[in-house]
Copies of this chain bind each other. A is one copy, B any other.
């Protein structure tokens, strides 16, 4: 599978990103990141916990949430608010080398659940302009577009 190689690369990069910043990608955090990357769609915290328990019998909600918080902080994953679920950051395509929090948008398919991350400059720019127009100092924007993905639409 090509995905396995991609995942391995992503994990290696994550390791590098963390050490470059003085953060530590501990075995636990790495395990959680791998589970998120392995999933085909955004995963919920308790789904991760169930999988984690197989490897770490003592795992509990805080175990997962602490790891997720770290990974979010490092920009290695994102949270999809509409789904209360987490997804690996896809930094390829847009050239952000794992900025802590880079502008991004999600396209969520209601049929198959596939969620694609994009970073459309026009969307980002329009949002910045809208905020500026009313004197609002933008910190972070959540953009989650729901509908039907191309594959599901043509069927």
Contact = CB atoms under 8 A, between A and B. Distances in A.
A11 interface: no
A2 to B, nearest CB: 20
Given A107-B134, A144-B142, A122 B129 contact: yes
Contacts of A143: 127, 141-143
Nearest to A145: B141
Interface in A122-138: 122-123, 125-127, 129-131, 134-138
Interface stretch (A43-51, A55-63, A66-74, A146-154): A146-154
Contacts of A136: 107, 109, 116, 145, 147-150, 153
Contact of A146 (B109, B141, B144, B145): B141
A143 to B, nearest CB: 5
Contacts of A153: 135-137
Interface residues of A, number: 36
A134 to B, nearest CB: 6
A5 interface: no
A110 B136 CA distance: 11
A139 interface: yes
A41 interface: no
A123 to B, nearest CB: 4
Contacts of A139: 110, 146-148
A147 B131 contact: yes
The 3 closest A-B pairs by CB, nearest first: A135-B150, A139-B147, A120-B130
